[in-house]
A = this chain, B = another copy of it.
Amino acid sequence: MTRRLRIAIPLFPRFTALDAVGPYEVLAQIPAFDITFVGHARGEVRTDNGMLGLVVDGRFEDLPNPDVIVFPGGDTRPLQSDARVLDWVRGAHASSTYTTSVCTGSLVLGAAGLLDGLTATTHWARYADLAACGATPAPERVVEHLDRRIITAAGVSAGIDMALRLTELLAGQTAAQAAQLLIEYDPQPPFDCGARPKATDEVMDRVREYDTPRR
């Protein structure tokens, strides 16, 4: 039996839960994939709004050479100047098969120097921050540079789409389609308002009202 492919998903204080759990749920359908949630220390970390805790099972140093990295977003600002995190990202990327991010997770890849001169994506409200760390923001749901082994996904829920593509790259299309069916990912949102160009002024006013106090 071949060894299982090791996937590391970093968690940190004020991360965004779906950024991490969306890709996890896709990837977890594949028996050959072994997923570990890593962080500064084992134990609970709370999400951006404080209403949910997830458990870190391994320290960054416990998984120096994962095959795949999926870096979720959230309040990544402290991480962008955290030498321990950035050293781990650079070291892990040196030997990874794919290094990926969801939402503002790309700002951490950028701070580590991985996105210099590349197009990349992040949450629609954070393109300027992405540009500030050396990447060229592209308003796409998933941006891949297979020659550089880097894939970035747009905001929050985009990690699900990215993880299906990642599964295809790692295990083939049939595997990815089986994962899609197992999580019954046949999206039928009741509104078509999931991208910035689709939002009315009224929705944007509400977004600003909701978002301001928490970021």
Closest Cβ neighbor of A26 among chain B residues: B18
- Whether the Cβ atoms of A178 and B190 lie closer than 8 Å is no
- Whether the Cβ atoms of A194 and B189 lie closer than 8 Å is no
Copies in the complex: 2
A168 to chain B, nearest CB (A): 7
Given A54-B55, A156-B25, also A210-B161 (CB < 8 A): no
CA–CA, A172 and B51, complex, Å = 22
Closest Cβ neighbor of A164 among chain B residues: B190
CA–CA, A22 and B52, complex, Å = 12
- Whether the Cβ atoms of A206 and B174 lie closer than 8 Å is yes
A210 to chain B, nearest CB (A): 6
Number of interface residues of A (CB under 8 A): 75
A93 within 8 A of B: no
A94 within 8 A of B: no
Closest Cβ neighbor of A158 among chain B residues: B184
- Whether the Cβ atoms of B189 and A164 lie closer than 8 Å is yes
Closest Cβ neighbor of A123 among chain B residues: B184
- Whether the Cβ atoms of A177 and B199 lie closer than 8 Å is yes
Which of chain B's residues have a CB closer than 8 A to the CB of A34? 51
Q: List 18 A-B contacts (CB under 8 A).
A: A22-B22, A25-B157, A29-B210, A31-B214, A44-B44, A154-B184, A156-B185, A157-B187, A160-B189, A161-B188, A168-B190, A174-B202, A178-B209, A181-B193, A181-B199, A185-B194, A187-B189, A187-B194
9 more contacts with CB within 8 A, not counting A17-B21, A24-B52, A157-B186, are: A18-B25, A158-B184, A158-B186, A173-B191, A177-B206, A180-B189, A181-B194, A181-B195, A186-B194
